[in-house]
Structure formats: C-alpha cells, structure tokens
Structure 1
C-alpha cells in the first residue's frame, strides 16, 4: 500500500532561532546619531579653527595701545580764556587721559558692578551673560538685559557703530576676543573708562568729571563715581545737566548693585550723601560766543591740517568780557544793538561783544557789520593835518565853507570864528574838518585811514571827512590802538597759543615787527587832541577818573553812535545803532556809547596804574608850514624842505650844490641861508616825483589853497 504523506504541523518549540546580528552592525538611528556626532565634532573643530584664525588675524590688525588711546570720533576743540578757564568745548570732549592706577577704585568698582560683573572671568565675550540675557528674553518676551561686556562696548565705541544688526554683533564679538588677547584686563578697563560716552558731549571719565562736577576725574568721590557709572546706560536720560534728580536716582541703583557685587557694605552704601553732591554750573556761552566765532576760523591759518584734539588758549579776559556785556546791555537804547571791542596795548582782544544777545542773534556786529563812523573818522583827517604840519595850537577858522558845491554845517548851526586846532577837534567842528581835508587832500586822508588799518572801501568825495565811508568796529579800534601805541601799527589777535590735550605747544603767537605809521610828534599831537575831546569836548561822558583820550561819532539822523578811546594801555570802541539803519532817537556818540565805554573801562583798567599821555609835540627842524606840503613818508627816506622852502635831499647837508641845484629863474635875489643847499631845480623834482619831461606847473598865488589830491 502506498505511503501517504501529510503536512507536518508546525512545532513552536521547534521553530528556528532568530538570526543574530553580525558583529559591528548598528541600528539606523544609531548610525545617524553617530554621523551627527562625527560631523558635529568636525564642524565644531573647523569653526573653532576658523574662529581662532579670525581672532588671530583681527588681533594682528589691531592698532597699538598708544594708537588706541588716541583714536576718537571727530576733533575736540576746547577754547580757554586768558586765565585758563573754559569758554566753550566744540565737538566731542575727551578731557585728559587718566592712567589706570590713577582712576579712583570706587569708579572701577561701580562700573564693573553695573556694566560687567564677570569682567575678570570672561575672554571678551561672556557666555553666562548671553545665556542669562536669552533666559530673560524667554521669560518676558522681550530683550530686557544686555549681554555686551565692557570689552565689547569698547570695540563698538572705537571701531563700530551702534546699529543693532546681527553682522555688527558678530564683528563686535570678534573684536572683543582679539582685544582681550592683545591687551591686559587693566589696559582694557583703562581704555574703556577714558573713552566711554557719559553724555553732554563728554567722552571719558576726566571729561565727564570736569563737565558735571568741575574737577579732574582723578578726584571723584564715591557719590560722584556712582553718578558717573550710572550714566553709561542712558547718558542723555540720566545726565545731571538734563535731569539732576534722575541722575541721583540712578546713582542709588548703582550703589545697590555694588552692595550685591560685594564692592560695598550696606553701611557704606547708606552713608553716601547723593543729595549733597554739587554739580558744576553750565559755562556761559552767550556773549563770549561772538569772540569764539571770530577766533576759531583762524585755526585753519595758524594750524592747518590738524584733526587731533586741541586746546585753544585765547586772549579773552573773563572779567573784561563780563564788564563789556553789562556795559552794553545797561546802556544800549531800546530796540538798538550794540557792539564793543577792547584791545590790550599789543593788540590782544580782551573783550568782544557782537550784539546784545547771542542766542537771539549770532551776527557779530563787532567784526562783520559796516557802518558810517561819523565824526570818529576825523581821527584820520587830523592825523593827515598834523603830519602836514599843523599843531594842536595852530589857528583855524570855524566859519561857513563850500567845497565843490558841498556846504557842511556844525551841530547846532553855530560857528566860533578863529579857534585853535585843539578846540576844533574837541568840539568836533565839521567846517574845520572840511577845510583841513580839502587843504591836505582827501586822498591823503584816505591814505591815512588805510595806513591805520581801515580795510573797507573809502571814497574821496569832500563829505568823506565827516565819516561817509562804511567801516568795521574792530578796524576803528585798531586805528585808535595804533595812536595809543605812539603811532605804531597794531594787529588785533585772539589766540595766544594752541596746545594738545597733553600740553604740547603746537602754535604760539609771535608779535609782528614794529611798524611806525606816523612820526612820534604826530602821534603826540593827535593824542593831545583826543584827550581834549574827553576833557572839555563832546566825549566828557567817557571820563573815568584817570587820563582818557577818545573821540565821539554820530551819523545823520542819529542812526549810529560811536565812542572810541584809550586809557592805561587799553583801547576800546563802542558802536550802537539799529540793524536796519533806522534812526535811534537821542542816540549820539557822547551819550549812550560814551557811557558804556566809561562803565567798561572803569573795570577793565581797575588793576592798572594810571598812565599820563605823551602829548608834547616836538617838531623836527624840517617841519613844514601847513600849506606847503603834505609829507607821506619819513623825510630821511625821501627829501624835505627847510624853513625857507629849500628842498634838502637826505645827506645833502654840507654837500656842494650840483648843477641841478640851481636857483629858479626870477628868484636869484633870494639869499640862501648859510649851510643850506640851494633849492632843487626842475630836473631833481622830476626825478623825485617820477614826472619825466613834464613841464613845470605855475606856482599858485599865496592867497590860493592847494586843490584836493
């Protein structure tokens, strides 16, 4: 019988055993974890290497420590008065550099407590601080705590800007790591405290201390240090000059932070008297700004191509400037403006007022405005007349006169008849000034004004003798200062020296060589006239109890009032009037301007001894009669005439007359004084005056006056 095969049942007990994994085999997840670990480690190593290379390259590119110290944004210019006090600071103010060892420890502790408590532990970037900042962000949903270290802030201040981009943060961190590798912690903190911005334009601890407390950054008390440290977070909000209460409140927070950082004990913190801190008052920048606006453009001339922080030591005297401000404001008529310039005997500007209020109008009328000087212009008329041979005692006639259709009138319409030159000047007789100008030549008067420093255009019409040409206040003061200097030229200047912030002298003013504008006897004569104008004439209101010489000036319809004069080596000029040149009722040079001059000069000269003027006119032997000739140069460099009219060449005394020195035809009978050469002939005159081959002009009759030049 055939066998029948039946399928066998499966026996669970006899089922085959599962296949064992081969050695070295891993799961899919394990393989990917392993790959991630390997690649992550590799990438981390590559990133670390790249970071190390980047830090190394950045470190090599960093400037030296000395260069880092001098790096700053913009040029700082500190303008100082003659006594060293600060007038104004322009641009960012960095103050003096304070070395690490001289920075108060209380300030170091305060800054580290509020800005970077882990400063000594990190490498420029603080991972703990970053983690804490992120955690706060998660808790509150916004960034409420910064993670920038002091080193990062330093890198941002020196090399970067304040933009909040991710790229800037990466570069900031890279620079911070490089800085920490190149410099020590003490150097980093020194750089930071000397460069961080504290508000009010003050960069660095010394600048901030001087601005807010009026003293050096090396002298900060604990209370002041806490205020300074609190400014870094928000300089404009916590600035003592903007909100002293906010600054004090922030300082309390700083003190509390110092306690938590174990830099202070609670008792020490409680003992700090923040309300007793005295803040420095803001420097006055009103009237003195007229002066600084005039001085600072001169830096391009005396110190070109300089972009380093500098200190400009000027000639301005604070007491004189204050007195000038008070004198103008107390005397200027309502609705009018006033200007004042005061020079020392060497030309140093002691005070300058360009208007009644700089805030309202910064237009400097002392150096920019051009106005008619009125009778103050007669200074040049009488200078020309004295140089031509007149003396203060010479007789002139105050009478009606007409010159080329122009008929000047005296103030009040009266005429005194025959008077001396001194009285004519003292009482500002217009008719006499017109006659003198016509006699010496209007061109000679214009040349005299130009010689004494008038820079504006000068007309030579007859009315010019009464001040019809526009002038600047500072130019007129310069002219009067030259008279005070006995006829020597004076150049106004306002900068004595320029130094670096470390005290290195970069520029020092040097006086100009002495230049004599007129002979001494002319300067003595005009000083005599100017003194008489104050003693008995129109300038009596300018008397100050010591010798004063000066001159008033008033233009038609009382549009301008002037007084210019000098005493004890100080020359001052005052102008008053309206900017629109409208009349000012009652304004005359002998009223408000003279009173302002006196008020100022009483204070300006208070510490100087009175000085007597040299008014003794010692005429030279070659002095001419007024109608003969107007001398325009030193006779020793040209030629002159003796009392008998004989032309004498320099060095011709005792010389045998040449063939050219013949007696003119028709005058052979005139005797020649013993020892004097004969009068010059036409050939000599032609050579001396440059008129070659010009026929001789007929000699005017004695009764005729020379025509104006």
Structure 2
C-alpha cells in the first residue's frame, strides 16, 4: 500500500499592513460626522429660521399695528383753511391749513423739482425709498463733526412722515417711516411721489403745497415761479418757520442761495445762472401788520356765512395802498403832536359810500401790541359828531337849513350846556348852528324836531343802535357808537340817502369753485332832498366852521363833522370827499377817532384839531399816491382775477 504524503493545513492569507505613513495620514483625515449630528444641525437651522421669521413678523406687526389707513391718508387731499386776499389779490391773512391748487409735475417749471431734489434728495431717482449710501454719508458727517449736521431721510421717507406719521422723534417712528417709504415706492412711480410731495409738503405760515406757498409769499401760482422763487420754496422744508420769507426774509434768501449752489453741484444750473438768480432775489415785503384788524373783522361769523368744510379763498375790499397811507399818517400823528397832547390811541375807517366796501381799517396803533379793534369794538360817546342826526330829524319835521334858531343860554332843570368860545348872536340859521357846533342851538333844534325820542329813532334808522339817553343831552352826543357804525351812518349824506351795510368781502371760492359772497345791501333811510340838504350843511362845517382843518389844498369839496366829548376824552372827525383819481371813483367816507383806552383826558384835543388834520393828511396822501380801482375789484369774481 502506497503511503500518501500529508497535506499541510490551509491558512488564511495574511493581511497587508499599511505603512506607518499611511496610518498617520488616515488618522489625520477628518472623519465624516455621524448621521445623527447632521440631522441635529438641520433641525436647529429650521427652528432658528422659523423663530426668526416669527420674530420679524411680530416686529413688523408692532410697527404697523397703529399705522393710519393708507387709503384714507391718500384720499385726504386737503384740510379746510381760509385764505384772505386784498383787493389786488395779495394774501393778507390765513386761517387754518391753507392749500392752493393741485398742481401736476408737467405743469411746473422744471427748476422747481430740480431745486427740491438738489437740496433734499439727490439720489431720489436711484434709491428704493431708503438710501443706505445717504444714511452712511450722514452718519459719517455727523460723527466727524460731533453734531447732527445732516439727515439720512429720503424724500420718500419725508413724504411718509408727512402723510401718515407724527413728528415724534423715536426709533419706532423711524422704523415705521421706513416701512411706509418702502410701501410708497412699491405703490407709486417716482414722478407720482414727487408730485404728491410738492402738493403736500408744509412750507410755513399754514401753507401746504408749493401752490399755496407761491400764492402766499409771492402772490402768484406755482406754475409761474421763477428760478430764485423756486429756490426759496425748495429751501423751506428744512425749517419752515425759521426760514419763512415773511418773518425771516434774510434767512430765506440765504437758504435760497444754498439751494442754487446745490443745483450747480448736481448740474441743474451753471454757475453763472446760479449767480444771476441769487443777485435777483427780492423777498416781497410782508403785508401790513395792522391789516390784522380788518382781517379779524372780515372773518367774523365766517362759519354762518359759508357753512361746510371747504377750503375758502376770499377776495376782500381792502386797498393796501389806502391801508398803508392810513397806518403811516396815524402813526406819524400819534408819535408827534398826539404824544405831546396825551393821545395814546387812534382808529381810522375808510369806506366807499356807494357800496359800503371797507377800503382801510386801523383799529389802533399797533396790531401786534393789541388786537382789540377800536374801530368796531369800542363804544364811545360821539359828542357833536352825533348832531347831524338831530338836525336831520328837524329837517324831516319840516324845518329848513335857512330857518333861524336861538343860540343864547338855556337852562333845562338846572342843566346849562355851554357853547365854548362861541359868542351868542341871538339867532342863527340851522346851517350856521351845525357848522359852528353851537350846543344851545342844537338842544333847541332837538326839541323842534320832536325831542330825544324822535332823534333816537333817526339814529337807529341810520344804523346806530345806541344805547342813547332819553333826554336833551342826546343833542350833544352822550349816547354810544362805534367808529364803523358812525362812518356807515354818514354814508347816506354822501350818496343820496342810502344806508350801506359795511362789507369786506367781494368774492369767494370754495374748493376752487365760485360761491356767493353776498351783495351790497342799500337801505333808503331818508329822501335824496334831505340828504342833499345835510350834505350842504356838512360842507359848511369844513368851509367855515369847526372842521376847517380838514380842508385839503386845492379847494376840493369836503363835508364832515367834528366831535368832542367832555374833558377831551374823545375826539372825532367823520368826513367824505370825492375819491381822488385812481381811488376807484365814487365817494370815500373816512372816520377818525382819537383818545385813550382808559378814557384819560387829552390836552385840549378837539375834533376840529388833530382828527380833522389826520383826515386831511390821509386825503392829501391818497391824491399823491393813487390807490387801486375798487370798482373793478367789486365787479369781478375771484375766478376772473386768477
């Protein structure tokens, strides 16, 4: 048997052992994270994103929770306001928020929006409502100067604040402003945003929008602005009150020069154009400060005359040239001879006799010091200025100016009126008695005309409500009147017997549409014959009686009456004269009162002295500086004027 050789046992192959360098490299290589760690990171990212989004949504909700409704804010184009214009269209007063016409960007001169963008937001066409570059630049300037020298708000942000928000300074309000700016940029085009801004921006003195400001400061619509005027308006949003052209003309002109310089930097102007425009800056003088008395009177009871909530533009009868003459002459008298005679205050009213339109009104010495209107609110004794109504009562009872009346002493129950320096002549005509203001004769004329009751009825028929005493002292003017009422009561003597209602409004527009402003009211209070007789008697007062100081040079016919109260507490002159050339034709009735608010006696100031002289000075000045045509203003509507 053959013996087989033994088979060696089978062994597993020996594993290859890596080299030491390979082991070190393998250990150094990063190991892939476990699958569980990857899921953990993904979960945290989802959670953080979710909570972050919720937090942002909560912040956004907090910011927009109390924001006003955008549809209401955009639909409200204006808040009710009143603009009062003089007879020539110059704005003399505003009440409430004043808005002009809604203007379109295409209708405005190109230099107006160019000026605004140059000084307020040069990157307006590039940014999306918020300007990071502008914010960074402003932050750097403010940090480097150590003060708030620049702001980073865009024009869209300013519009958002003006439309929807309050001027409150807080981080929350700024954040809301940014949100609304983004919404505005999404909702409107750049041109639309610029147009809305120009119609809504506040430009001082109650004016909202460039058209209202153009009319207020320059007396023209925004479509007619020249270059320097546009620069003035474009500079106002920074500080409307501090740069107001009316109250701070030098500051407004300086700011306009800055705007013109900014336009050069942006390429909107050449340096020569900017220099010429800056040299032509002429801020119009502000309207008379003392026209405030007229404005207050004209705006009285406005709600009853124009019910509703419309914006009103009211054209008035005030003639700024006559007003300026009245103010200048009144102040000159009070500062000179008036001061030496102890006269502290005065009032003047100028009225057109045929229509009752008030052409000028000064209710005191300085409206800024006292808004009390001594022409319409002060009730004082008229003295002998009341005598024309006593004598008219006698004429209506059958007497004539040529009838005789005794001028000697009289005693009524112990009351003995004096005649001053008048020397009794026994009997004089009614005309002479009125011309020389003889008191004893006036008392007798009162009795022959029917007594105090009859004279009182005549005065009330002429628009003088009183109160009046029911005794013979009425002949000497011991009742109470206002200067405005007394001026209106003299108008029938000048116009043939028709009593006009004093008026200040000529025409009106409500939200741009013409509305009735009332028609002249004329009431016949005496016959033309009796009015003519009284006119001739009042002419005698100036020609040869107590009112001689009122006669202007040239021999023009003047009629009027003086008045002085006991102890020289009040001095009056009421007169009328054909309007000087250029003053509108017809007849002007002018009344003057001088005195003191506390009724302190003056030093021998009688109606025939300083008041008559002031009347003459006003008439002389008007003849030298013709006023505008009041008849044209009364005939045309405000729409035609514009």
- TM-score past 0.5 threshold: yes
Q: Does 1:316 align with 2:318?
A: yes
State the partner residue of 1:448: 458
Q: Does 1:587 align with 2:627?
A: no
Is the Cα–Cα contact under 8 Å of residues 437 and 465 in structure 1 kept in the other structure? yes
- Aligned counterpart in structure 2 of residue 81 of structure 1, from 81, 86, 90: 86
State the partner residue of 2:561: 551
Is the Cα–Cα contact under 8 Å of residues 59 and 179 in structure 1 kept in the other structure? no
In 2: Cα distance, 1:494 partner to 1:542 partner: 26
Q: Does 1:217 align with 2:222?
A: yes
Alpha-carbon offset, residue 207 of structure 1: 4.0
Is the Cα–Cα contact under 8 Å of residues 330 and 365 in structure 2 kept in the other structure? yes
Alpha-carbon offset, residue 366 of structure 1: 1.0
In 1: Cα distance, 2:600 partner to 2:69 partner: 69
- Aligned counterpart in structure 2 of residue 528 of structure 1, from 498, 518, 536: 536
State the partner residue of 1:329: 331
Q: Does 1:487 align with 2:489?
A: no
Is the Cα–Cα contact under 8 Å of residues 59 and 178 in structure 1 kept in the other structure? no
Q: Does 1:539 align with 2:544?
A: no
In 1: Cα distance, 2:121 partner to 2:474 partner: 74
Aligned residue runs from structure 1 range 19-418, under 5 A: 25-27=35-37, 31-32=40-41, 35-37=44-46, 39-40=48-49, 43-44=52-53, 61-63=70-72, 67-68=75-76, 70-72=77-79, 75-126=80-131, 129=134, 145-210=150-215, 215-238=220-243, 254=259, 258=263, 261=266, 263-264=267-268, 268=271, 272-273=275-276, 275-306=278-309, 308-332=310-334, 333-334=338-339, 335-336=342-343, 337-344=345-352, 345-412=354-421, 414-418=423-427
In 1: Cα distance, 2:249 partner to 2:318 partner: 31
Q: Deviations over 1:632-685 (max 9, x none)?
A: xxxxxxxxxxxxxxxxxxxxxxxxxxxxxxxxxxxxxxxxxxxxxxxxxxxxxx
Is the Cα–Cα contact under 8 Å of residues 385 and 436 in structure 1 kept in the other structure? yes
In 2: Cα distance, 1:546 partner to 1:510 partner: 31
Alpha-carbon offset, residue 211 of structure 1: 5.3
Cα gap change, 1:40 to 1:122, in 2 (>3 Å): farther
In 2: Cα distance, 1:589 partner to 1:256 partner: 59
Aligned residue runs from structure 1 range 602-681, under 5 A: 602-604=620-622
State the partner residue of 2:570: 560
- Aligned counterpart in structure 1 of residue 524 of structure 2, from 516, 523, 528: 516
Alpha-carbon offset, residue 388 of structure 1: 0.9
Alpha-carbon offset, residue 417 of structure 1: 0.9
State the partner residue of 1:663: none
Q: Does 1:460 align with 2:463?
A: no
Is the Cα–Cα contact under 8 Å of residues 288 and 324 in structure 2 kept in the other structure? no
Secondary structure, counterpart of 1:88 in structure 2:
strand
Q: Deviations over 1:179-202 (max 9, x none)?
A: 333333211101112222344544
Alpha-carbon offset, residue 467 of structure 1: 0.9
Secondary structure, counterpart of 2:542 in structure 1:
helix
Alpha-carbon offset, residue 241 of structure 1: 5.6
In 2: Cα distance, 1:268 partner to 1:441 partner: 82
In 1: Cα distance, 2:591 partner to 2:384 partner: 14
In 1: Cα distance, 2:68 partner to 2:436 partner: 80
Cα gap change, 1:395 to 1:78, in 2 (>3 Å): same
Cα gap change, 1:394 to 1:506, in 2 (>3 Å): same
User: Which is bigger in relative contact order (C-alpha 8 A, separation at least 6)?
Assistant: 2
Cα gap change, 1:130 to 1:45, in 2 (>3 Å): farther
State the partner residue of 2:635: none
Is the Cα–Cα contact under 8 Å of residues 196 and 203 in structure 1 kept in the other structure? yes
Is the Cα–Cα contact under 8 Å of residues 230 and 250 in structure 1 kept in the other structure? yes
Cα gap change, 1:411 to 1:206, in 2 (>3 Å): same
Alpha-carbon offset, residue 36 of structure 1: 2.1
Is the Cα–Cα contact under 8 Å of residues 73 and 163 in structure 2 kept in the other structure? no
In 1: Cα distance, 2:432 partner to 2:251 partner: 68
Alpha-carbon offset, residue 231 of structure 1: 3.5
Cα gap change, 1:519 to 1:116, in 2 (>3 Å): closer
Alpha-carbon offset, residue 147 of structure 1: 3.6
In 2: Cα distance, 1:129 partner to 1:537 partner: 79
In 1: Cα distance, 2:543 partner to 2:141 partner: 83
* TM-score between both structures, scaled by the size of structure 1: 0.73
Alpha-carbon offset, residue 165 of structure 1: 2.4
In 1: Cα distance, 2:66 partner to 2:331 partner: 64
Is the Cα–Cα contact under 8 Å of residues 383 and 564 in structure 2 kept in the other structure? yes
Which segment drifts farther, 383-392 or 109-118?
A: 109-118
Q: Deviations over 1:450-483 (max 9, x none)?
A: 1111123111122121111122111111111122
In 1: Cα distance, 2:229 partner to 2:534 partner: 60
In 1: Cα distance, 2:608 partner to 2:491 partner: 20
Is the Cα–Cα contact under 8 Å of residues 196 and 204 in structure 1 kept in the other structure? yes
In 1: Cα distance, 2:241 partner to 2:532 partner: 60
Unaligned runs of 5+ in 2: 1-16, 579-586, 628-642
State the partner residue of 1:625: none
Alpha-carbon offset, residue 33 of structure 1: 5.7
Cα gap change, 1:186 to 1:599, in 2 (>3 Å): same
Is the Cα–Cα contact under 8 Å of residues 213 and 279 in structure 1 kept in the other structure? no
State the partner residue of 2:615: 597
Secondary structure, counterpart of 2:468 in structure 1:
coil
Return the structure number with greater helix share. 2
Q: Deviations over 1:37-74 (max 9, x none)?
A: 5642685499689979x999989841486x34x234xx
Secondary structure, counterpart of 1:27 in structure 2:
helix
Cα gap change, 1:148 to 1:34, in 2 (>3 Å): farther
* TM-score between both structures, scaled by the size of structure 2: 0.80
Cα gap change, 1:59 to 1:385, in 2 (>3 Å): closer
Q: Aligned pair count? A: 587
Cα gap change, 1:590 to 1:499, in 2 (>3 Å): same
Alpha-carbon offset, residue 561 of structure 1: 1.5
In 2: Cα distance, 1:283 partner to 1:437 partner: 50
RMSD between aligned alpha carbons?
3.8
In 2: Cα distance, 1:324 partner to 1:137 partner: 52
In 1: Cα distance, 2:154 partner to 2:160 partner: 10
In 2: Cα distance, 1:521 partner to 1:271 partner: 67
In 2: Cα distance, 1:196 partner to 1:445 partner: 59
Secondary structure, counterpart of 1:232 in structure 2:
helix
